[in-house]
Each structure stands twice: as C-alpha cells, then as structure tokens.
Amino acid sequence: MTSLDEQILQRRTNLDELSKLGLEIYPRKFERRHTIAELVEAHVQRTHDELEGDRIETITGGRILAIRAFGKAGFLVLSDGHAKIQVYIRMDSMPELDFKIHQLLDFGDWVGVEGRLFRTKTNELTIWASRLHFLAKCLLPLPEKWHGLTDVETRYRQRYLDLIVNPDSRRVFETRSRIIAAVREFMTARGYLEVETPMMQPIAGGAIARPFVTHHNALDMDLYLRIAPELYLKRLTVGGFEKVFEINRNFRNEGISTQHNPEFTMLEFYEAYADYQALMRMTEEMIATVARRAIGTEQIVFGDHQISLQAPFARLSLRDAAREAASRRLNREVTDADLRTRDAAAAIAAHLALEVDPGDGAGKITTTIFEALCEDRLIQPTFVYDLPTEVSPLSKQKPDDPDTVERFELYIGGFEVANAFSELNDPAEQRRRFEAQLKDRAGGNLAAHEMDEDYIRALEYGLPPTGGEGVGVDRLVMLLTNSPSIRDVILFPLMRKRE
C-alpha cells in the first residue's frame, strides 16, 4: 500500500469512527456567532487580563490547518480563509463525545468550536473550547504545512489546494477582486454605463487575432468566441449610449505565455466626444486611482523594478521610439523618411536581423522594429502614441498624416497594458480598411480582420467622434500584485488535458 492509499484509508477510518459515535458526518449547517476574522480583528489587541475579565464567549468554525495534540489536551489552528485562530482542547473542559471527536480529526477537516477567548502562556489569542462540532472531513492528505505547495502545475490544476495552503496566492485573488471593483467604481463614477455584449459572434471582429470556433446546433450555425467586444460597444455608441464599458472575457486562439492566456479579461470602454488625448489623461488617472484603492499605493515593485504609477505618464511617439532605438543600435542616423519608405524600412529591419513578411508595408515594419527594440524597456508607465495606419484598421487617421492614426498603447513593466484610439467613424474609409485586411487575409494571415457589413451600416447611421480603449485587466493585476506570470492571476488558467 502506498503512503497515499494509507493516509486516505486512515482518514476514511476516522470518518467511520466519527459516524459510529452517532454524529451526522455531513451536517447541513452550523451557525457561527463570529467569523475567525471578526474575532481576531476585535480582540487581537486585548491583553490576557482583559480577556479574563470580559469572558468573551464565541461560536466559530473553520478548516484545521494544524493539529498539535499531547495526550489529554491539544491545540488546533483554524482558518476561515481570512484569518487564523488557535483552539485549545482539554479533555476535562468538554463533553467526552467532543474529546473523542478531537481524537479523530485530521489536518484539513472542517470543525465548529464553542468556547471562551483567552491568551496562552505564550500570549497567543486562543479559544478555550467547551464544545467541538464536526462539520466535514478532508479525505485526502493536504500539502505540507511548512514548504506548502510549490509545484506550479499542481497549483494551477488544483487551485483549491494552492488557496488552502498558500496565503500569498489567496491574497493575489483578493487583490484582483478589489482591482476590478475599483475599476468598476471609477468608470461608474464617471457616468459610464456597464453593458454586456455577445461572447458568441458570427464574425470575430474588433481585434487582429485568430478566434475559437463553436457551433450552434438548432440554428446550425458556426459562431466565434469573441476576440473583442469593440464592434458591439461602438454599435451602442451609435445607438446613443455615450459612455459604455464592459469588463469581461475575450478569447484568442493563440500561443500561451507568461503574458497570454487564451481567455483573458479586458476592460473595454467608449466615450462619445472624446479623442485619444482625452483617453490618455483618463487612463493615467484610472490606473493611479485603482492602485491606490486596491493596494493603497501608486509606488509598486514589479520583479526587479520600482515603478511609479503616479500620473502623468511619459508620452513617446512610436515612430520616434523606433527611429531612435534603430539609430542607436545601428550607430547611424535613421530618419523618419526611412521608416515611412517600405524599402528603406525593410533594409533597416534586415540590418537589425528582424523578420519581415513580403506583404508588410513601412508601417508594419516600423511597428516590428519598435516591438523588438523598445517594448521590453518601457518599464515606467509610457503612452506610445501615433501608430501606423497599416496596423490599426479601426482607428482614425491624423488630419495631416494619413499614414498615422490617433492611437496609443500604454506600456508598464515592459508589456502592453492598454490600447486606445480615436475611433474611425467614416464608413467609406472603414470599408477600405476592411478590404485591406481582406487582402492580408487572402495572403494567409488568419488573424486579419473580416468584413463586417452590419458594422459599416451602423457607422452609416452616424458614430459621433468617439474615443475607445481596452485595458488588459489580468496584466494590470500582474503589475499590482507583483506576479511574473498571467497564470498567477487567473484562478484556473488553461492547461492541457491530462488523463
């Protein structure tokens, strides 16, 4: 028999023995007078003498995280997830039955306790148990108390174990919840309406990415899991909702990395009458505000870096960034004209040993140069603005420069956190952009945008000047919780199936 089998058998035997004592081994409810967190918060400052004077009686419950038994007495450590408290068990302080229950408990079981608060010799806040109630059995052995669970695969596949034994992991997800609440509060306070748009879409639009395909049986229709809510949210702006936002999942059928999970959470919002400059100001305020509310500071530590999220953030044009980085790297002057000429840009990329597709134009190549040379160096929050039109099928061009759009990406910690632009609202130009994407698609780029006739029709009804933005919520959580991998901030990241 293996150690695992043996330990499971022992726990089952203990459960059988509990049953033989006449207990309901899966009781239906237990009424707590206080949670453990409430007890700790209310009494952690109280001294031994104060507690003896007050005689505070409580009824509480939790999972057993430690058992230290010695003969006719012992200690349990109970957790309610937020806080821990010690319980003192004495044979002569409780009914015989309750003490027998104590002898059949295993690490991980759920119990309820009645008793009085006191402080031990070592000054630990403790419940002196007068009753012990069995609530549920943990039939499988838990990871070790001291080293905890470090195997990342088990942490992701069996997140419940991670949450039981690794308080830091639990804290990440509590912070995640606060971050999302703070974002929602920020948007709502600014008069934004929260909406939900389709996750299953007949045309996967609003981003450049490969979608997941699914099928509706009754309609016998293929559908795509959305890669972005963008085109639907802008339809709402056409419909007269001037400020809308959605916080929800997007699905992109692409590689997995420390910064990419196939499903990820995005805040996306649209504001009529705003342009990308207004969105930059709003974004830096939002990120600073959310950081303050969720973690209490704008100064964060991310890996080896100290990052200040205090507004205003740096601003850098993409062409300038690419030009300067390429000039430095090649040790010669690269001009703006070089980056705007296909052949010159391609030659520069070649010198930089960057791969360029034959179909890539000057704008795409400039973006490639930027991504290779600049992206991971943008540690402090930086708006990279004025992107090439070629890589921005839904953004509005600059009035004096049709090759450039009013768009920015926000970089923090070396990766992209947000992407925003003045929305293209000219239906004729939008049709031309879609057609360019179709050409790209015909050339084999499965991520290129499809034609969306209904979206063009919506624009024909009139989209007011509008600014729109997407914020990668998971990445924001990574930054604010100092998590190096997106999987550390997603409760159940996608894993390969295992038999």
262 within 8 A of 252, measured Cβ to Cβ = yes
Buried b (16+ CB within 10 A) or exposed e, 22-47: ebeeeeeeeebebbbbbbbeebeebe
Q: Is 54 in the site for RNA (CB under 7 A)?
A: no
Q: Which is nearer to RNA, 72 or 351 (CB)?
A: 72
Applying CB under 7 A, which of residues 59, 73, 436, 456 lies at the interface with RNA?
73
- Measured from the Cβ of residue 212, the count of other Cβ atoms closer than 10 Å reads 16
Dihedral pair phi/psi, residue 66, rounded to 5°: -160, 145
Nearer to RNA, 80 or 272 (CB): 80
Among 22, 28, 49, 146, binds RNA (CB under 7 A): 146
Residues numbered 434 to 463 that lie near RNA (CB under 7 A) are 447
Q: Draw the binding track, 279-318, toward RNA (x: CB under 7 A; -: no contact).
A: ----------------------------------------
Structure tokens at 30: 């237990």
Q: Please, what is the minimum distance in Å from the beta carbon of residue 217 to RNA?
A: 28
Could you say whether residue 481 binds RNA (CB under 7 A)? no
Number of residues forming the site for RNA (CB under 7 A): 84
Closer residue to RNA (CB): 272 or 468: 468
Question: Segment contacting RNA (CB under 7 A): 4-12, 214-222, 232-240, 283-291?
Answer: 4-12
Q: How many residues are listed for the chain in this entry?
A: 499
CB of 82 to RNA, least distance (A): 18
The secondary structure element, H or E, covering residue 223 is strand 221-225
d(CA 16, CA 8): 12
Q: Is 355 in the site for RNA (CB under 7 A)?
A: yes
Can you tell me whether residue 204 is helix, strand or coil?
A: coil
In b/e form, how buried is each residue of 330-362, taking b as 16+ CB within 10 angstroms? eeeebeeebbbeeebbbebbeebebebeeebbb
Query: Could you say which of 130, 166, 175, 259 contacts RNA (CB under 7 A)?
Result: 259
Q: Does 276 engage in binding with RNA (CB under 7 A)?
A: no
Segment interacting with RNA, rule: CB under 7 A, options 216-224, 251-259, 429-437, 458-466: 251-259
Q: Which is nearer to RNA, 90 or 281 (CB)?
A: 90
Q: Looking at 121, 191, 399, 462, which residue binds RNA (CB under 7 A)? A: 121
Cis peptide before 312 (omega within 30 of 0): yes
45 lies in the binding site for RNA (CB under 7 A): no
In the complex with RNA, the residue whose CB is nearer, 125 or 272, is 125
Indicate whether 28 belongs to the interface with RNA (CB under 7 A): no
Beta carbons of 245 and 192 less than 8 angstroms apart: yes
**In this complex, which beta carbon is closest to RNA, that of residue 238 or of residue 417?**
417
Q: Which stretch binds RNA (CB under 7 A): 5-13, 50-58, 320-328, 455-463?
A: 5-13
166-225: contacts with RNA (CB under 7 A): 207-210
Amino acid at 444: G
Comparing CA positions, the residue from 264, 237, 190 lying closest to residue 477 is 264
Binding range to RNA, per CB under 7 A, among 232-240, 271-279, 319-327, 466-474: 466-474
Query: What are the DSSP E strand ranges found in 242-363?
Result: 243-251, 263-272, 299-302, 305-308, 314-317
Contact between 107 and RNA by CB under 7 A: the answer reads yes
Residues 378-417 binding RNA (CB under 7 A) are 409, 415-417
Candidates 255, 296, 399, 444: give the one binding RNA (CB under 7 A): 255
Q: CB–CB of 136/110 below 8 Å?
A: yes
Cα-only R_g, the chain: 29
